[in-house]
């Protein structure tokens, strides 16, 4: 009789890509993140993972993802253990499958931030515990939970809004925004040079979801067409981790900088328009990269101007904080033995 009361549609599931979840499941995690944020602000404990051990695997360096997973785990009562690129041997001295089996015998959950999506999938297949994708070259699901949580926090809804991503349309954030928006019924515009359009495979996945949700998708290199009617304007760095083709990207993407002129092209009232960025952002020359780009190419701002970054439209720091709350919701839902029989 009591067995049925332990039901949880998320328990034991890995979070590897947004396409593995329904709109209702994603909305539940987003709303749960907003709930846990309210508990955190009110100082109400929520130790759903008391006594659990969490492995944090980082092939790629990180500020927000590492900080978010660490604080989320501690808030939930779990113990996080960081394993950086010098601590793990995925595919080098030890196969990813062997690593998965070892870690799965010691830890209750595994976060993975690395290059290959296939490594995340092998960890999930062979560890026997939930694996959470903190970023791969293909997908960034934990960023999406925070992003759409931020959108809902600002607008009170998701369906029917229009989010425009401007920049490198082939990177993991653009992929994830296109597919997640399509699942959730959010209109997604990708405004990018043709050379950097999302792959046909990603576009086809998104189109399949959009047919069900009613989301309108637009991939274009025309700024006027792409920016029109946007509620959320989103950008990311022009060169992703592991890439080094700065000269090519600066040349290609300078016309796609998010500046005040671009925001005006939306035609959206100020109270219905926000700017988002997953960070870090090159909006001035206060970084080593920023100074190097200024010396080489004579520009002091890249994907977003400092004027937009510090404007009333900017929500990137709320978005960054929401990484913690949304990751907490995901971890608790998939590992916390909560009662979630359906969504």
Range of the domain at 99: 18-140+324-330
Q: Which is catalytic among the residues 13, 140, 277, 315?
A: 140
For residues 170 and 63, membership in a common domain is answered with: no
| Domain harbouring 239, CATH code | 3.40.50.1370
Residues in the chain predicted with pLDDT less than 50, given as ranges, are 1
Distance CA 167, CA 163 (A): 13
Clarify whether residues 122 and 184 are in a common domain: no
Q: Structural domain tally of the chain?
A: 2
Let me know if residue 217 belongs to a domain.
yes
User: Is 310 annotated for ligand binding?
Assistant: no
Asked if residue 64 belongs to a known ligand binding site, the reply is: yes
Judge if 170 and 66 occupy the same domain.
no
pLDDT at 188: 98
Is 141 known as a binding-site position?
A: yes
Residues 171 and 286 in one domain: yes
Q: Is 75 within any annotated ligand binding site?
A: no
For residue range 54-72, list pLDDT tens digits in order.
999 999 888 999 999 999 9
Catalytic residue at 140? yes
In a domain, 78, yes or no: yes
Choice among 75, 119, 189, 278 that is catalytic: 278
pLDDT of residue 6: 65
51, burial (CB in 10 Å: exposed 0-12, middle 13-18, buried 19+) = exposed
The verdict on 120 and 36 lying in the same domain is: yes
Q: Looking at the domain assignment, is residue 342 inside a domain?
A: no
Q: Are residues 197 and 112 in the same domain?
A: no
Do 93 and 40 sit in the same domain of this protein? Answer: yes
Q: How far apart are the C-alpha atoms of 198 and 305, rounded to whole Å?
A: 24
301 and 202 within one domain: yes
Which parts of the chain fold into alpha helices (H)? 23-42, 64-75, 96-106, 117-127, 141-155, 172-184, 200-213, 223-227, 246-253, 260-264, 288-297, 306-309, 316-335
- Catalytic residue, chosen from 75, 236, 257, 316, is 236
């Amino acid at each position: 009789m009591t067995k049925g009361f332990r039901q949880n549609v998320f328990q034991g599931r890995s979070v590897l890509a947004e396409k593995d979840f329904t709109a209702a499941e994603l909305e539940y995690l987003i709303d749960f993140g907003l709930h846990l944020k309210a508990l955190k602000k009110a100082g109400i404990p929520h130790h759903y993972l008391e006594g659990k051990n969490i492995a944090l695997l980082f092939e790629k360096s990180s500020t927000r993802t590492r900080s978010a997973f660490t604080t989320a785990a501690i808030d939930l009562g779990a113990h996080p253990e960081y394993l950086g690129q010098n601590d793990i041997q995925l595919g080098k001295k030890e196969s990813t499958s062997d690593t998965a089996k070892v870690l799965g015998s010691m830890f209750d959950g595994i976060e993975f931030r690395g290059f290959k999506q296939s490594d995340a999938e092998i960890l999930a297949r062979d560890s026997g515990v939930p694996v959470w994708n903190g970023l791969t070259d293909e997908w960034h699901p934990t960023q999406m939970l925070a992003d759409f949580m931020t959108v809902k926090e600002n607008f009170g809804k998701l369906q029917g809004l229009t989010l425009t991503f401007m920049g490198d349309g082939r990177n993991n954030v653009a992929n994830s925004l296109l597919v997640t928006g399509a699942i959730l019924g959010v209109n997604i515009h990708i405004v990018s040079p043709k050379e950097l359009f999302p792959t046909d495979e990603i576009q086809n996945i998104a189109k399949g979801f959009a047919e069900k949700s009613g989301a309108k998708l637009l991939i274009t290199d025309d700024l006027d067409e792409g920016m029109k009617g946007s509620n959320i304007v989103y950008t990311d760095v022009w060169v992703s981790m592991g890439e080094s083709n700065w000269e090519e990207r600066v040349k290609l993407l300078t016309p796609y900088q998010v500046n005040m002129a671009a925001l005006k092209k939306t035609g959206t009232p100020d109270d219905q328009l926000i700017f988002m960025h997953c960070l870090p952002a090159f909006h001035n020359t206060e970084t080593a990269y920023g100074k190097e780009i200024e010396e080489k190419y004579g520009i002091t701002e890249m994907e977003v101007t400092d004027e937009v970054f510090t404007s009333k439209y900017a929500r990137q720091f709320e978005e960054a904080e929401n990484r913690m709350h949304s990751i907490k919701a995901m971890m608790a839902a998939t590992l916390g033995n909560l009662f979630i029989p359906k969504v």
